[in-house]
Amino acid sequence: MSELWLAFTLGNAAIFTNACLLPLYPGLIAFLAGTSPDKPQSTLNAAFLGALVLAGVLSMMILIGLLLALLSAGFGDILPVLLPVIYIAVIVLGGLMLAGRNPFARLQTAQAPMLRNRPLTAYVYGLFFGPMTLPCTGPIILSAFTVGAGAGDIVGGLLYFLAFGLGFGWPLVALPLIALPAQRRIVSWLGRHHDALTRASGLLLVAVGLFGFLTEIVPQIAANYEFSLVAQLIYWASALGLAGLLAVWLSRRTASA
């Protein structure tokens, strides 16, 4: 269960640090609904289109999860050797984000095709949404996929990626349902605090990598080692608290600069 909450949290981190596409998303939904971004649209229509985008996101996540689960099943014998490499990669990517560096920033943003059928366009947009966000949130997405590849079994891997997709996609359903002024305030706030949120997410990725070592690697080395459920809860409460404090401190430092 902790892996599913971890995947959901990483999905939220990926979408809320997405300064590449999230500010443009309400306008896209308004376009697909056949209205102007400055005019109110049907709540039911917006909810339907947002749900189709989420369905596209989840479809892609399930497909990726299935492919990675099948791939990892073929490497089952060497998975104990791969796990340290996986968690080191996550820590490195988290450290880069914490330092304000994104190795994917120079990638060109992909474009989803615009089809004549607007509901189908919404679904296809959801399929492409993950790849389109790589230049902005690549370290988080790659880290989530890397950890998910080590899930060990197909069912666990699929559930992990489904949880990540729900965390990544639920704002895409909720945002079009909010009144236009509130949409603009939320998107503006995320844009202003993008750097702070990105660096805090980097701290969470470092915590994910360290957690992997504590739960998967250390027990193989220390026979009497035990990382109890209470200790895990304290660990994640501390990690989330530190990430929150870091985000607040960086936001205030930026505002006062």
How much is the average pLDDT of 204-228? 84
Question: Among the residues of the chain, which ranges form H helices?
Answer: 2-16, 25-32, 43-74, 79-98, 118-132, 134-149, 154-174, 180-192, 194-212, 218-221, 229-256
At 171 the pLDDT is 82
In which band, very low, low, confident or very high, does the pLDDT at 245 lie, cut at 50, 70 and 90? very high
pLDDT for res 158: 78
Q: What is the rounded average pLDDT of the residues 84-107?
A: 81
Per-residue pLDDT band for 233 (boundaries 50, 70, 90) equals confident
* Residues 6 or more apart whose Cβ sits within 8 Å of residue 141: 14, 130, 133, 134
Instruction: Tell me the two tokens of residue 239.
Output: 């990690």
202 band by pLDDT with thresholds 50, 70 and 90: confident
Instruction: Give me the number of domains the chain comprises.
Output: 1
7 near 164, Cβ under 8 Å?
yes
**165 exposed, middle or buried (CB, 10 Å; 0-12, 13-18, 19+)?**
buried
Looking at residue 242, its pLDDT comes to: 93
Report the phi/psi class of residue 102: left, alpha or beta, with left for phi > 0 and alpha for psi in -120 to 50.
beta
Q: Which tokens belong to 80?
A: 């104990």
Question: Does the pLDDT of residue 195 top 80, yes or no?
Answer: yes
Please check the confidence at residue 138 and state whether its pLDDT lies above 70.
no
Share of the chain above pLDDT 70, in %: 75
At 77, the pLDDT band (50, 70, 90 cuts) reads low
Q: What is the mean pLDDT of the chain?
A: 77
Model pLDDT, residue 82: 72
Q: What's the start-to-end Cα distance of the chain, in Å?
A: 42
- Tell me which residue range forms the domain holding 219: 2-256
Go through the chain and tell me how many residues it has: 257
The pTM assigned to this predicted structure is: 0.73
- The pLDDT, as a whole number, for residue 94 is 86
Distance CA(155)–CA(171), nearest Å, equals 25
Q: Does the pLDDT at position 93 exceed 80?
A: yes
Lowest mean pLDDT among 17-21, 110-114, 158-162: 110-114
pLDDT band at 24 (very low <50, low <70, confident <90, very high): low
Per-residue confidence (pLDDT) for residue 53, from 0 to 100? 86
Give dist(CA 87, CA 4) in Å, integer.
Answer: 17
